[in-house]
Structure 1
Amino acid sequence: MDPLTSLRRLIQTHPLIDNHAHNLLAQAAASNYAKYPFEQITSEAQGPALHNAPSTLPLQRAAAQLATLYDCPTSEWDRVKAARDQYVERDYDGLIRRCLEGTHSLLLDDLLTDQDIEPFAWHDRFTTAPTKRIVRIEVVAAQVLASILPNGFDKTSSDITVLRQYLDQFRQGFNQKISEAIADPVVVGFKSVICYRTGLNVQVTDDEDDGTLLESFSRTLSQGSGSTYRVEDKPLNDWLVRQALNQLQSAKESDASGPNKPLQLHTGLGDNDINLILSNPAYLQDLVARYPKVDFVLLHSAYPYTREAGYLACVYPNVYLDLGEVFPMVSRDAQESIIRESLEIVPTSRLLWSTDGHFFPETYWLANKQFRDALEKVLVDYVNQGDHNIDQAKIAAADILFHNSNRLYSLNETITYDDRLVPAVSTLSGLSSTDALESFMHSNPDVKYIWMQFFDYTSTVRVRMFPIREFAKIVRKQRRIGICTATFLMLQSDTVCPEGSTTGQFYLEPDLSTLSRNVGIDSKSATVMTWGRSEEGLEVEGCPRTLLRRVTADLRAKHGINVLCGFEIEVILLKCVTKPDTDEEEFVPCVRNHSWSQMTRDTRRMVPLLEEIVDTLASIGIDLEQFHAESAPGQFEFILPPGSPVAAVDTLLKARQVVTYVAEQHGYRATLHPRPYSHAAGSAAHAHVSVTPATQEESFLAGVLKHFTSLTAFTLSNDVSYDRMHSGLWAGSEWVAWGTQNRETPIRKISAGHWEIKALDGLSNMYLAMAAILAAGFLGVQEKLPLTLQDCLYDAATLSEADRSALGITTQIPTTLTQSLDNMASDKALRDVLGNTLVENYITVKRAEIKKLNAMEAEVRRKWLVERY
């Protein structure tokens, strides 16, 4: 893989910790633009000044990007907002989930407001790790005042003794609240907005005479409205900051190994409440020096004082610079300049990322998207200039996005990130559709045609081909590609089942993140995967790829489970020969002297072809983990890297095509037929499934086992698939069971939360097969199913009935597709998750396919399948 491609991929896909964010609006208020102007996503302006926002470069850029998010055909601001309203109404959770994609954890300041927002813990459903709290000290102070004076303060009172009593109560109450927050494991840091209230020129030491504080306290009470107080009097605000710092420093001195809880300070950019001059973080130098055991986070890139903040982060070991809020508040050039300025002298280990996302989920999406793009531009430039090498740039990006915040806030989060876990084309995923196409064409100027692909219920890849100029129109939403809905009920021979109708259509929407040039074939073309969309632009229930994405998202959103998948491709390389007596063609193995993982004389002749396949896959970023000879004559296995479920299936389909194309160049047919020769082992398409965290692995596995005889309708999708599932063939044997490192169970456990699914082959629509497996696991977790089947260490078919029963093994794997389809038809719970219309159509197609294939003679049927799969 090209090193720069690897760097770009990491920047665009590495999980991130958002170290400074706020609550989202509840759906009922999400489109209340009179109260929450949507223009504020790119502007700190308020009131009449905000009316100018649509003419700013940041908002115009955001409008173009949001149009792609909402599938809006224009970036005209009013139409973008209208498209947003429709999205919010039909699927607000889906919009949020899409906007927070890639966010591992949120550190939430949930004291920005208490109106119209979703509660703190509600946000957990959209992130990998639980949300953590940042405590805003000025709001804590206001809450303490309200608790002391619930009926308000008598502004005519001049009794100093009473006032001092109130102040003493306030001191005690505030310090108690800060102490409790320091001890609270959900709280990972504190925040002060003193920059807004009275400026960053904080008095570093307490006055010996607290008369000044008492006067400030009195003014604060007098300015309150009823029991509502806003702390914005300088001596009192300075005192709050010092008190918080004193407690934080004392906590570190008493327990140096305890969790670290920094103080965040708003600096620089803000609305018209701030004094722009006093928002310069240079004013904080003495304060930073006085509290060396407390870590300070200077928020919002301190823009326009980035260099001043950078100086502090460089020379003081307890200062960090946050790069948030300026994304998407300033132009592209300004964003890149801010990153460059922050890197002038600041160690990359002292830089943090945040969105300052608030109210609107799009504030998260735009910030993350624009930051990743700007960071990529800057770091790639530094690598090209020789300032960074690739490894240094990768470490810098991963630290800024994740590791620095993880360390600073003592989050102790763990991730396993490998740039192989995302498909080769994922470097385009952070771009708008138009930008993604332009970027791809810049790197592949010779490509003239684009193949749009979708995968039907018979596991047939359907393709529409377009010249670049026409495909560009599709990307720009200047035209749509309609496909007759009858294709959901169509056989390989283009025959539509009687239940189908030639009326109605859906539309193909290209997923530009999957753009990949076609290699191994003499064609100046590229391939792109697609989503199915309705007339209104909504998801189509029958789209297999959409179904897999939805089930994966539901596992994460509802149960906090993330999934990785990886596949093994097994093919048998055949050559077509003509029978001399009949002139009929037949397929025969390319080699005969052949066995598992052995380099025979025949096998060695195939090495140049195998290596060409591996090199060709690598040329488009699919880096195999290994490859080797399998058991059947002419059979070889290629093991693909893991990825998210949809991405992993995308990679599988692309890799299969490459294997097929390269084999054809040498006169061979690479078939996925599950068992073309009864005297030899068959070919599978084993899937590795990993769930994290593994805390619910038993319920997940229990769900898969409970619904196993139904989901085989998708995983063993042809009658010939069952010819492979026999004892002694290392194919998973004949009983529903699981076993640790047991290759004669249909589910082999490899490690905590990691299984190999063996009852699966290349005739499956892998989007549907994986969706069914994950849906069954989802049901197990949702129902908290206990794992009643015991770990089987043997081939269950060789055990006695009593031994099987002792392990809880009582159910045989279906022996025909008809049995599996009947089981699926009666499995209401699984059907409900997968979608009843999709399941009904799938069963209809497969029953018609069975009838068609059973009408053929055995040898005709074998050849028919080999030619198609």
Structure 2
Amino acid sequence: MPAAERPDPAELPLPPLVDHHCHGVVRSELDSAAFEAFLTESDAPAALGTTFFDSQLGFAVRRWCPPLLGLEPHCPPAHYLARRRELGVREVTRRLLTASGIGAFLVDTGLPGDLTTPRELATASGGTAHEIVRLEHLAERTADTALTADDFLTGLADGVREAARTAAGFKSVAAYRYGLDFAPEPPAPAAVHTAAERWLAHRSDDPGAAARVTDPVLLRHLLWSAAHTGLPLQLHTGFGDPDLRLDRCDPLALTDFIRAVRPTGCTLILLHGYPYHRGAGYLAAVFPHVYADVGLALAHTGARAGAILAEMLELAPFGKVLFSTDAYGLPELYVVGARLFQEALAALVNGWVAEGAWSRRDAHRVAALLAADNARRVYGLGVASGRDT
């Protein structure tokens, strides 16, 4: 589409975005290799003679971020990284976060590394931040100090209850640790106790290899423990790094669990979804307690982000789709996630208005739902800025 005919995102009035699933950014300076590592889901360096900048995400970073640092769009990566080092990581983080248009961050704090806290994100951006507690990380921290299975299960129950007092929601990466094709019903207490004993013994014998919780019985126990708190529960679905088996991350595999958990009143949010995002949209359409996003997929599909968002909006009710970036490590990923979402949404709804399929008023209303209002409703943030963590 010629530039003169391309819909201007500014023509679509949006409230400050609510990024309902994201992570901290690194506090330290990054060399080129470390920076590029955040542009891919691969756990290996780029193939010989190639670069991760040569990807949809890499091109999107070069499109949107250089002007925020005083450079021309699409400048060479070496020029961009040199300018980044010249300004310093704190100034780059401040500039990029404040330019992202994100007013509230819901931060999954379960990833390792020297990452900014939710409060630091809020300070750098001028917005607000709220914590999302990763269940597996909570279990692993509890296991570090537990001497027996009883100690662990009591500590875990206390930890979930305490987290529910202050967090905006919970998150599970069961998709990584086992897959989504787990048994849907809550595990029996005796089975949970046996699984906890087995895991703790394994951790004692081989701490490095057994540190992570992967037992499906314990993962189900975590999910059901969170479901009974009344807080929203985020579930990773679809693509990610090679630590998962993508064929076992189809959100449709959760159908029986979705049915089973419904009586608890727990709201489930299916994250990312790609390439199964249409299935996530279907689940959001037929189950009242299921919501979905395409967060990570938009950044990684770059110039094709509009097609992915359009596929989600084919079937998912407009009050059931949320915005997220899944930004991690680089403040650039907040900018890219937000700009790609805004541009894709503007192009879609303005096109539908031009065709007569939507009214302008409905387009503006639905855009606000996706950008912020749905997340504020689901997480209980209210219509104004929520509490800082």
Q: How does 1:601-640 map to 2 (within 5 A)?
A: none
1:391 maps to 361
The one of 313, 320, 332 equivalent to 1:362 is 332
Give the deviation of 1:104 after TM superposition.
Answer: 1.4
Which structure 1 segments of 5+ residues have no match? 150-165, 253-260, 416-559, 561-869
1:535 maps to none
Does structure 1 conserve the Cα–Cα contact (< 8 Å) formed by 2:53 and 2:59?
yes
Residue identity in the other structure for 1:80: Y
Q: Which has the higher strand share?
A: 1
1:38 maps to 35
The one of 286, 293, 315 equivalent to 1:315 is 286
Give, in whole Å, the separation in 1 of the partners of 2:46 and 2:376. 38
1:139 maps to 137
Give, in whole Å, the separation in 2 of the partners of 1:14 and 1:209. 46
Report the 3-state secondary structure (helix = DSSP H, G, I; strand = E; otherwise coil) of the residue aligned with 2:53: helix
Does structure 1 conserve the Cα–Cα contact (< 8 Å) formed by 2:61 and 2:332?
no
Report the 3-state secondary structure (helix = DSSP H, G, I; strand = E; otherwise coil) of the residue aligned with 1:47: coil
Residue identity in the other structure for 2:15: H
Residue identity in the other structure for 1:294: C
Does structure 2 conserve the Cα–Cα contact (< 8 Å) formed by 1:336 and 1:375?
yes
Give the deviation of 1:327 after TM superposition.
Answer: 2.7
Residue deviations 1:58-93 (CA, integer Å, cap 9, x gap): 313422333323333562222222222222258345
2:266 maps to 294
Residue deviations 1:608-652 (CA, integer Å, cap 9, x gap): xxxxxxxxxxxxxxxxxxxxxxxxxxxxxxxxxxxxxxxxxxxxx
Pair 1:233 & 2:176 matched? no
Relative distance call for 1:380 and 1:217 in structure 2 (3 A) is farther
Does structure 1 conserve the Cα–Cα contact (< 8 Å) formed by 2:56 and 2:300?
no
Give, in whole Å, the separation in 1 of the partners of 2:355 and 2:258. 35
Give, in whole Å, the separation in 1 of the partners of 2:384 and 2:312. 27
Give the deviation of 1:127 after TM superposition.
Answer: 4.3
Relative distance call for 1:172 and 1:307 in structure 2 (3 A) is same
Relative distance call for 1:11 and 1:365 in structure 2 (3 A) is same
Relative distance call for 1:221 and 1:78 in structure 2 (3 A) is farther
Residue identity in the other structure for 2:225: Q
Give the deviation of 1:99 after TM superposition.
Answer: 4.0
Does structure 1 conserve the Cα–Cα contact (< 8 Å) formed by 2:18 and 2:376?
yes
Pair 1:265 & 2:235 matched? yes
Give the deviation of 1:213 after TM superposition.
Answer: 5.7
Does structure 2 conserve the Cα–Cα contact (< 8 Å) formed by 1:191 and 1:265?
yes
Q: Tell me which of the two structures has the higher relative contact order, counting C-alpha pairs closer than 8 angstroms and 6 or more residues apart.
A: 2
Give, in whole Å, the separation in 2 of the partners of 1:401 and 1:220. 43
Give, in whole Å, the separation in 2 of the partners of 1:40 and 1:386. 44
Give the deviation of 1:322 after TM superposition.
Answer: 1.5
Q: How does 1:549-588 map to 2 (within 5 A)?
A: none
2:85 maps to 85
Residue deviations 1:249-304 (CA, integer Å, cap 9, x gap): xxx5xxxxxxxx2000111120001110111000111111112211000111x000
Residue deviations 1:320-350 (CA, integer Å, cap 9, x gap): 11231123211312x1111111111111110
Relative distance call for 1:93 and 1:8 in structure 2 (3 A) is closer
Residue identity in the other structure for 2:363: A
Give, in whole Å, the separation in 1 of the partners of 2:198 and 2:142. 15
Report the 3-state secondary structure (helix = DSSP H, G, I; strand = E; otherwise coil) of the residue aligned with 2:12: helix
Give, in whole Å, the separation in 1 of the partners of 2:151 and 2:116. 32
Give, in whole Å, the separation in 2 of the partners of 1:76 and 1:9. 27
Residue deviations 1:519-558 (CA, integer Å, cap 9, x gap): xxxxxxxxxxxxxxxxxxxxxxxxxxxxxxxxxxxxxxxx
Superposed CA RMSD? 2.7
Give, in whole Å, the separation in 2 of the partners of 1:140 and 1:49. 33
Relative distance call for 1:81 and 1:198 in structure 2 (3 A) is same
Does structure 2 conserve the Cα–Cα contact (< 8 Å) formed by 1:299 and 1:322?
yes
1:375 maps to 345
1:111 maps to 110
The one of 293, 311, 325 equivalent to 2:296 is 325
2:226 maps to 244
Report the 3-state secondary structure (helix = DSSP H, G, I; strand = E; otherwise coil) of the residue aligned with 1:58: helix
Give, in whole Å, the separation in 1 of the partners of 2:89 and 2:381. 35
1:178 maps to 160
Relative distance call for 1:137 and 1:208 in structure 2 (3 A) is closer
The one of 146, 151, 169 equivalent to 1:169 is 151
Give the deviation of 1:167 after TM superposition.
Answer: 1.6
Q: How does 1:650-669 map to 2 (within 5 A)?
A: none
Report the 3-state secondary structure (helix = DSSP H, G, I; strand = E; otherwise coil) of the residue aligned with 1:172: helix
1:576 maps to none
Relative distance call for 1:239 and 1:402 in structure 2 (3 A) is same
Does structure 1 conserve the Cα–Cα contact (< 8 Å) formed by 2:136 and 2:172?
yes
Give the deviation of 1:32 after TM superposition.
Answer: 4.5
Q: Please identify the structure whose Cα radius of gyration is greater.
A: 1
Give the deviation of 1:12 after TM superposition.
Answer: 6.1
Report the 3-state secondary structure (helix = DSSP H, G, I; strand = E; otherwise coil) of the residue aligned with 1:135: strand
Give, in whole Å, the separation in 2 of the partners of 1:128 and 1:62. 22
Residue deviations 1:633-687 (CA, integer Å, cap 9, x gap): xxxxxxxxxxxxxxxxxxxxxxxxxxxxxxxxxxxxxxxxxxxxxxxxxxxxxxx
Residue identity in the other structure for 2:45: P
Give, in whole Å, the separation in 2 of the partners of 1:49 and 1:191. 30
Report the 3-state secondary structure (helix = DSSP H, G, I; strand = E; otherwise coil) of the residue aligned with 1:284: helix
Q: How does 1:393-472 map to 2 (within 5 A)?
A: 393-414=363-384
Does structure 2 conserve the Cα–Cα contact (< 8 Å) formed by 1:23 and 1:118?
yes
Does structure 2 conserve the Cα–Cα contact (< 8 Å) formed by 1:105 and 1:127?
no
Residue identity in the other structure for 2:17: L
Give, in whole Å, the separation in 2 of the partners of 1:326 and 1:105. 20
Does structure 1 conserve the Cα–Cα contact (< 8 Å) formed by 2:251 and 2:280?
yes
1:518 maps to none
Residue identity in the other structure for 2:220: D
Give, in whole Å, the separation in 2 of the partners of 1:208 and 1:139. 22
- How many residues of Structure 1 are paired with residues of Structure 2 in the alignment? 375
Does structure 2 conserve the Cα–Cα contact (< 8 Å) formed by 1:22 and 1:358?
yes
Relative distance call for 1:141 and 1:91 in structure 2 (3 A) is same
Pair 1:194 & 2:194 matched? no
Give, in whole Å, the separation in 2 of the partners of 1:234 and 1:296. 19
Give, in whole Å, the separation in 2 of the partners of 1:406 and 1:368. 17
**TM-score (structure 2 length as normaliser):** 0.88
Give, in whole Å, the separation in 2 of the partners of 1:374 and 1:129. 23
